[in-house]
Amino acid sequence: MPTQILLTGAIDPHNYVAFTFFVGTMAMMAASVFFFFELNATSATWRTSVLVSGLITFIAAVHYYYMRGYNLETGDSPTFFRYVDWMLTVPLMCVEFYLITKKSGAKIALLWKLIFASVVMLVTGYIGEVLDLDHSWQWGLVSGLAYFYIVYLIWFGDVAKLANAGSPAVAAANKTLAWFVLVGWAIYPLGYILGTPGGLFGAQLVSDANAAKHYMDIVYNIGDAINKIGFGLVIYTLSRKES
Ligand SMILES: *C/C=C(C)/C=C/C=C(C)/C=C/C1=C(C)CCCC1(C)C
Protein backbone atom coordinates (compact mmCIF):
# COMPACT_ATOMS: atom_id res chain seq x y z
CA MET A 1 0.00 0.00 0.00
CA PRO A 2 2.05 3.00 -1.23
CA THR A 3 1.59 6.44 0.25
CA GLN A 4 -1.39 8.00 -1.47
CA ILE A 5 -1.79 11.73 -1.34
CA LEU A 6 -3.94 13.56 -3.83
CA LEU A 7 -2.74 17.05 -4.66
CA THR A 8 -6.20 18.43 -4.03
CA GLY A 9 -5.93 17.40 -0.37
CA ALA A 10 -8.84 15.01 -0.86
CA ILE A 11 -8.77 11.53 0.61
CA ASP A 12 -8.19 8.78 -1.93
CA PRO A 13 -10.97 6.23 -1.29
CA HIS A 14 -8.36 3.45 -1.31
CA ASN A 15 -6.24 5.15 1.31
CA TYR A 16 -7.55 3.27 4.35
CA VAL A 17 -5.10 4.96 6.69
CA ALA A 18 -6.38 8.44 5.89
CA PHE A 19 -9.95 7.15 5.80
CA THR A 20 -9.79 5.61 9.28
CA PHE A 21 -8.16 8.78 10.65
CA PHE A 22 -11.05 10.75 9.19
CA VAL A 23 -13.78 8.44 10.48
CA GLY A 24 -11.98 8.22 13.82
CA THR A 25 -12.03 12.02 14.16
CA MET A 26 -15.74 12.14 13.39
CA ALA A 27 -16.63 9.26 15.73
CA MET A 28 -14.63 10.71 18.64
CA MET A 29 -16.27 14.11 18.11
CA ALA A 30 -19.76 12.63 17.98
CA ALA A 31 -19.15 10.53 21.09
CA SER A 32 -17.86 13.58 22.98
CA VAL A 33 -20.91 15.64 22.09
CA PHE A 34 -23.13 12.77 23.21
CA PHE A 35 -21.41 12.29 26.59
CA PHE A 36 -21.26 16.01 27.33
CA PHE A 37 -24.90 16.65 26.43
CA GLU A 38 -26.03 13.67 28.54
CA LEU A 39 -24.32 15.09 31.63
CA ASN A 40 -27.34 17.18 32.59
CA ALA A 41 -29.53 14.10 32.67
CA THR A 42 -26.98 12.08 34.68
CA SER A 43 -27.37 11.56 38.43
CA ALA A 44 -24.82 13.38 40.61
CA THR A 45 -23.23 10.06 41.65
CA TRP A 46 -22.19 9.19 38.10
CA ARG A 47 -21.66 12.64 36.59
CA THR A 48 -17.87 12.64 37.04
CA SER A 49 -17.63 9.20 35.43
CA VAL A 50 -19.62 10.24 32.36
CA LEU A 51 -17.64 13.50 32.21
CA VAL A 52 -14.39 11.51 32.14
CA SER A 53 -15.83 9.36 29.31
CA GLY A 54 -16.42 12.58 27.37
CA LEU A 55 -12.93 13.89 28.16
CA ILE A 56 -11.36 10.67 26.85
CA THR A 57 -13.16 10.89 23.50
CA PHE A 58 -12.66 14.67 23.32
CA ILE A 59 -8.89 14.43 23.84
CA ALA A 60 -8.85 11.69 21.21
CA ALA A 61 -10.95 13.82 18.82
CA VAL A 62 -8.43 16.68 19.00
CA HIS A 63 -5.50 14.31 18.47
CA TYR A 64 -7.28 12.53 15.63
CA TYR A 65 -8.02 15.84 13.93
CA TYR A 66 -4.32 16.64 14.09
CA MET A 67 -3.16 13.14 13.11
CA ARG A 68 -5.59 13.06 10.18
CA GLY A 69 -4.10 16.25 8.76
CA TYR A 70 -0.54 15.17 9.47
CA ASN A 71 -1.04 11.85 7.73
CA LEU A 72 -2.80 13.45 4.78
CA GLU A 73 -0.06 16.03 4.24
CA THR A 74 3.01 13.90 4.83
CA GLY A 75 1.80 10.33 4.23
CA ASP A 76 3.65 9.42 7.43
CA SER A 77 2.57 7.82 10.66
CA PRO A 78 1.90 10.41 13.42
CA THR A 79 3.49 8.16 16.05
CA PHE A 80 4.51 10.86 18.51
CA PHE A 81 1.01 12.35 18.81
CA ARG A 82 -0.49 8.85 18.91
CA TYR A 83 1.47 8.27 22.10
CA VAL A 84 0.68 11.74 23.49
CA ASP A 85 -3.02 10.85 23.03
CA TRP A 86 -2.56 7.48 24.78
CA MET A 87 -0.54 9.01 27.63
CA LEU A 88 -3.50 11.27 28.38
CA THR A 89 -6.42 8.95 27.69
CA VAL A 90 -5.22 5.61 29.14
CA PRO A 91 -4.61 7.10 32.61
CA LEU A 92 -8.11 8.61 32.37
CA MET A 93 -9.44 5.09 31.77
CA CYS A 94 -7.65 4.10 34.98
CA VAL A 95 -9.55 6.95 36.65
CA GLU A 96 -12.80 5.35 35.45
CA PHE A 97 -11.90 2.11 37.27
CA TYR A 98 -11.07 4.09 40.38
CA LEU A 99 -14.34 6.04 40.24
CA ILE A 100 -16.57 2.96 39.90
CA THR A 101 -14.81 1.13 42.77
CA LYS A 102 -14.46 4.17 45.04
CA LYS A 103 -17.88 3.60 46.55
CA SER A 104 -16.82 0.18 47.78
CA GLY A 105 -13.64 1.58 49.28
CA ALA A 106 -11.00 1.97 46.55
CA LYS A 107 -8.02 3.95 47.82
CA ILE A 108 -6.08 6.48 45.77
CA ALA A 109 -3.10 4.07 45.91
CA LEU A 110 -5.01 1.73 43.59
CA LEU A 111 -5.40 4.53 41.05
CA TRP A 112 -1.64 5.24 41.17
CA LYS A 113 -0.87 1.54 40.68
CA LEU A 114 -3.03 1.47 37.54
CA ILE A 115 -1.60 4.74 36.22
CA PHE A 116 1.98 3.67 36.92
CA ALA A 117 1.50 0.38 35.08
CA SER A 118 -0.10 2.15 32.11
CA VAL A 119 2.74 4.69 31.90
CA VAL A 120 5.32 1.85 31.95
CA MET A 121 3.30 0.07 29.24
CA LEU A 122 3.18 3.14 26.99
CA VAL A 123 6.70 4.54 27.55
CA THR A 124 8.34 1.17 26.85
CA GLY A 125 6.06 0.74 23.81
CA TYR A 126 7.20 4.12 22.47
CA ILE A 127 10.86 3.29 23.03
CA GLY A 128 10.43 0.00 21.16
CA GLU A 129 8.47 1.61 18.34
CA VAL A 130 10.57 4.73 17.82
CA LEU A 131 13.73 5.15 19.89
CA ASP A 132 15.37 1.73 20.09
CA LEU A 133 14.23 -0.35 17.12
CA ASP A 134 17.11 -2.77 17.60
CA HIS A 135 15.43 -4.04 20.76
CA SER A 136 11.80 -3.63 19.81
CA TRP A 137 10.72 -7.09 20.94
CA GLN A 138 12.36 -6.67 24.35
CA TRP A 139 10.61 -3.33 24.89
CA GLY A 140 7.37 -4.84 23.60
CA LEU A 141 7.76 -7.64 26.14
CA VAL A 142 8.20 -5.22 29.07
CA SER A 143 5.21 -3.27 27.80
CA GLY A 144 3.23 -6.51 27.59
CA LEU A 145 4.09 -7.42 31.18
CA ALA A 146 2.80 -4.05 32.39
CA TYR A 147 -0.31 -4.66 30.30
CA PHE A 148 -0.88 -8.07 31.90
CA TYR A 149 -0.47 -6.52 35.33
CA ILE A 150 -3.34 -4.14 34.49
CA VAL A 151 -5.39 -7.09 33.20
CA TYR A 152 -4.65 -8.95 36.44
CA LEU A 153 -5.74 -6.03 38.66
CA ILE A 154 -9.00 -5.64 36.77
CA TRP A 155 -9.86 -9.34 36.42
CA PHE A 156 -8.63 -10.78 39.73
CA GLY A 157 -6.89 -8.09 41.79
CA ASP A 158 -8.14 -5.15 43.85
CA VAL A 159 -10.29 -3.66 41.08
CA ALA A 160 -12.21 -6.94 40.66
CA LYS A 161 -12.60 -7.48 44.39
CA LEU A 162 -13.88 -3.96 45.04
CA ALA A 163 -16.18 -3.98 42.01
CA ASN A 164 -17.69 -7.31 43.11
CA ALA A 165 -18.26 -5.85 46.57
CA GLY A 166 -20.20 -3.01 44.98
CA SER A 167 -23.70 -2.97 43.51
CA PRO A 168 -24.63 -5.63 40.91
CA ALA A 169 -24.56 -2.91 38.22
CA VAL A 170 -21.00 -1.90 39.17
CA ALA A 171 -19.88 -5.55 39.22
CA ALA A 172 -21.44 -6.11 35.79
CA ALA A 173 -19.90 -2.93 34.36
CA ASN A 174 -16.47 -3.93 35.65
CA LYS A 175 -16.85 -7.34 34.02
CA THR A 176 -17.63 -5.72 30.65
CA LEU A 177 -14.76 -3.24 31.01
CA ALA A 178 -12.47 -6.14 31.93
CA TRP A 179 -13.32 -7.75 28.57
CA PHE A 180 -12.51 -4.46 26.83
CA VAL A 181 -9.10 -4.45 28.49
CA LEU A 182 -8.40 -8.13 27.78
CA VAL A 183 -9.65 -8.29 24.19
CA GLY A 184 -9.99 -4.68 23.01
CA TRP A 185 -6.59 -3.58 24.32
CA ALA A 186 -4.94 -6.69 22.87
CA ILE A 187 -5.54 -5.10 19.45
CA TYR A 188 -2.64 -2.69 20.17
CA PRO A 189 0.18 -5.24 20.57
CA LEU A 190 -1.13 -6.70 17.30
CA GLY A 191 -0.57 -3.32 15.62
CA TYR A 192 2.86 -3.11 17.23
CA ILE A 193 3.81 -6.55 15.91
CA LEU A 194 2.61 -5.67 12.41
CA GLY A 195 4.24 -2.26 12.24
CA THR A 196 7.48 -2.52 14.21
CA PRO A 197 10.45 -4.22 12.54
CA GLY A 198 11.49 -6.97 14.95
CA GLY A 199 8.39 -6.44 17.09
CA LEU A 200 7.55 -10.16 17.06
CA PHE A 201 10.49 -11.67 18.96
CA GLY A 202 12.90 -10.30 16.39
CA ALA A 203 10.83 -11.26 13.34
CA GLN A 204 9.34 -8.84 10.86
CA LEU A 205 5.87 -9.74 9.63
CA VAL A 206 5.51 -7.16 6.87
CA SER A 207 8.77 -6.66 4.99
CA ASP A 208 7.94 -3.28 3.41
CA ALA A 209 8.47 -0.85 6.28
CA ASN A 210 6.12 1.73 4.78
CA ALA A 211 3.28 -0.77 4.36
CA ALA A 212 3.92 -2.09 7.87
CA LYS A 213 3.39 1.40 9.35
CA HIS A 214 0.17 1.73 7.37
CA TYR A 215 -1.22 -1.53 8.73
CA MET A 216 -0.20 -0.43 12.18
CA ASP A 217 -2.10 2.85 11.90
CA ILE A 218 -5.24 1.12 10.67
CA VAL A 219 -5.12 -1.41 13.52
CA TYR A 220 -4.49 1.32 16.11
CA ASN A 221 -7.33 3.44 14.69
CA ILE A 222 -9.78 0.54 14.91
CA GLY A 223 -8.58 -0.22 18.45
CA ASP A 224 -9.08 3.37 19.58
CA ALA A 225 -12.62 3.58 18.21
CA ILE A 226 -13.65 0.36 19.96
CA ASN A 227 -11.91 1.07 23.22
CA LYS A 228 -12.53 4.75 23.79
CA ILE A 229 -16.12 4.95 22.60
CA GLY A 230 -17.14 1.46 23.76
CA PHE A 231 -15.57 1.98 27.15
CA GLY A 232 -17.43 5.29 27.56
CA LEU A 233 -20.72 3.67 26.59
CA VAL A 234 -20.29 1.00 29.30
CA ILE A 235 -19.86 3.78 31.87
CA TYR A 236 -22.85 5.62 30.41
CA THR A 237 -24.99 2.46 30.63
CA LEU A 238 -23.94 1.99 34.26
CA SER A 239 -24.96 5.58 35.02
CA ARG A 240 -28.41 4.89 33.53
CA LYS A 241 -28.92 1.60 35.40
CA GLU A 242 -28.19 3.29 38.68
CA SER A 243 -30.26 6.46 38.46
C1 LIG B 1 -7.30 4.86 23.96
C2 LIG B 1 -6.09 4.19 23.89
C3 LIG B 1 -5.82 2.97 24.46
C4 LIG B 1 -6.82 2.19 25.26
C5 LIG B 1 -4.50 2.46 24.25
C6 LIG B 1 -4.02 1.31 24.73
C7 LIG B 1 -2.72 0.88 24.37
C8 LIG B 1 -2.17 -0.34 24.69
C9 LIG B 1 -2.89 -1.34 25.53
C10 LIG B 1 -0.84 -0.62 24.19
C11 LIG B 1 -0.14 -1.72 24.47
C12 LIG B 1 1.17 -2.13 23.94
C13 LIG B 1 1.61 -3.40 24.31
C14 LIG B 1 0.85 -4.25 25.29
C15 LIG B 1 2.88 -4.02 23.78
C16 LIG B 1 3.42 -3.31 22.58
C17 LIG B 1 3.42 -1.84 22.76
C18 LIG B 1 2.02 -1.25 23.01
C19 LIG B 1 2.27 0.12 23.62
C20 LIG B 1 1.33 -1.09 21.64
The response to whether residue 125 sits with its C-beta less than 6 Å from ligand 1 reads yes
pLDDT at residue 10, rounded to an integer:
74
d(CA 76, CA 214): 8
Give the phi and the psi of residue 200 in degrees, each rounded to 5: -105, 80
Are 86 and 107 spatial neighbours (Cβ–Cβ below 8 Å)?
no
Give the phi and the psi of residue 203 in degrees, each rounded to 5: -85, 160
The response to whether residue 224 sits with its C-beta less than 6 Å from ligand 1 reads yes
Atom of ligand 1 nearest to the CA of 184: 4
Domain boundaries, the chain: 16-242
**222: nearest Cα among 6, 23, 5:** 23
What is the CATH topology of the domain spanning 16-242?
Rhopdopsin 7-helix transmembrane proteins (1.20.1070)
Which residue has the CA at smallest separation from atom 9 of ligand 1? 185
d(CA 218, CA 190): 11
pLDDT means per 10 residues, the chain with 243 residues, are 57 88 97 98 97 98 97 93 98 98 96 98 98 96 98 98 96 97 97 92 86 94 98 97 83
The response to whether residue 229 sits with its C-beta less than 6 Å from ligand 1 reads no
Which residue has the CA at smallest separation from atom 12 of ligand 1? 189
Distance 145 CA to ligand 1 centre (A): 11
pTM comes to 0.94
